[in-house]
Amino acid sequence: MQNDQISKAIPWNPWHGCHKCSSGCQNCFVFNMDKRYGRDTTVITKGKTTYELKEKNCPPGSLVKLCFSSDFFLEEADDWRGEIWEIIHRRSDCIFVLTTKRPERIKHCLPPNWGEGWNHVHMSISIENQEMADKRLPYFLDAPLRHREVFCSPLIAPITLGKYLDTGLIKCVNVGGEMAPGQGSQTNSLGMGQRPVYRSKISRYRVLFSSMRKYVFT
């Protein structure tokens, strides 16, 4: 999925809040944003707006990115997720992108009519270093999915993905950094802190460096 598509995506947050689960969460923008408004991000709450995606706000062909301010597979959302799956299934005229740091829960949380996956649902995981790649990718590859994408973001250490890419199951790898204030970070031109980005060499595969807005081959 190309970067210009992602930037035009319609955000859909049926619930809000999360729990930090690895070093990639250190400077999470959601926690920093909530802190400014005195909100506790670790308290998971349902969205205040209706779940339904109306065609006037989400016309056919739209790209919808779920849980931009949470994780779709949080345990606290188990009682709410079924309704979201029903809407996603009904809106097969759109493309849905679900990103998670909890791929070990994917198989447990899929709807009964999922089968081998829905063609209009793209699943992606976020990894920041080799440890998280080796922990999360086996679960990700084991789940019955039609479209798999990997976000190496924030890429804070080198990652070798060769053996996972060789399976042919991963369609796209996106690489990016972070723009959030935090300790041990550098300050960019916008006055925001960020940890350095390591651009891992992934042979024979196209990589989208999201911060550069272009494709490169390595």
How buried is residue 66: exposed, middle or buried, by Cβ count under 10 Å (0-12/13-18/19+)? buried
User: Cα 13 to the chain's mean position, in Å?
Assistant: 13
Q: What is the pLDDT of residue 40?
A: 95
- Cβ count near 3 (within 10 Å): 17
Mean pLDDT in runs of 10 for the chain (218 residues)? 61 93 87 91 84 80 93 96 95 96 98 98 95 97 97 88 92 78 43 53 42 36
Q: What is the pLDDT of residue 149?
A: 95
Q: What is the pTM of this model?
A: 0.80
Q: Token pair 């980005």 is at which residue?
A: 197
Domain that holds residue 48: 3-217
Identify the CATH number of the domain in which residue 206 sits: 3.80.30
Count of domains forming the chain: 1
Q: Show the tokens assigned to 212.
A: 């550069």
Alpha-carbon distances of 62 from 57, 83, 87, 95, 115, rounded to whole Å: 9, 20, 14, 6, 24
Q: What is the pLDDT of residue 201?
A: 43
- 132 sits in which H/E element: helix 130-142
